Amino acid sequence: MPENLPTASGSFGDKPVLTFPDTPAPRALSVEVLSQGDGEVVETGDDIEVNYYGQVWGGRMFDNSYDRGSSINFPIGVGAVIGGWDEGLVGKVVGSRVLLSIPPHLGYGDRGMPQAGIGGTDTLVFVVDIVGTRHR
């Protein structure tokens, strides 16, 4: 396991709980495959379907799809989502659970996203379950 990354409870499909180390957040994008799937490879431009849990480093949860009971779909690798998702999810496979630690410049930048409680210097941590992909 890469050091300086939080640990996530649960397995694919379960709402995770993150436990943070007593160290500063990594400055660069960090990606850890928590469980490897055996489905198709996610390629740039695919429409992917995911469940996700998002939390500010060492702080509070700001959004997740598990509580809503429905996954989300979006194009990946083409700038439709934050850069950390585009860089961290392309090349992974369907059925995988991936932990992403995303520095501010690959998240919401200097402005953050105040309506979600995300500041401009916040590192974001996501647990993403890749449910499906559709090649375009």
Does 1 score more than 60 pLDDT? no
Is it the case that residue 2 has pLDDT exceeding 90? no
- Please, which contacts does 65-69 make with residues 24 or more away whose CB atoms are closer than 8 Å? 66/14, 66/15, 67/15
pLDDT at residue 136 in the model:
79
Give the pair of three-digit tokens for residue 115: 């309506």
Each residue's pLDDT tens digit, 63-94? 999 999 999 999 999 999 999 999 999 999 99
For the chain, what is the mean pLDDT? Answer: 95
Contact 57, 19 (CB under 8 A): no
pLDDT of residue 92: 98
pTM: 0.95
pLDDT tens sequence across 40-62: 999 999 999 999 999 999 999 99
| Domains, in order of start, for the chain | 7-134 (3.10.50.40)
Average pLDDT value for residue range 31-42: 97
Burial of 1 (0-12, 13-18, 19+ CB in 10 A): exposed
Cβ-contact 51, 71 below 8 angstroms:
yes
* Under 8 Å between Cβ of 42 and 64: no
- Contact by Cβ (8 Å): 123, 104: yes
* Gap between the Cα atoms of 127 and 17, Å rounded: 9
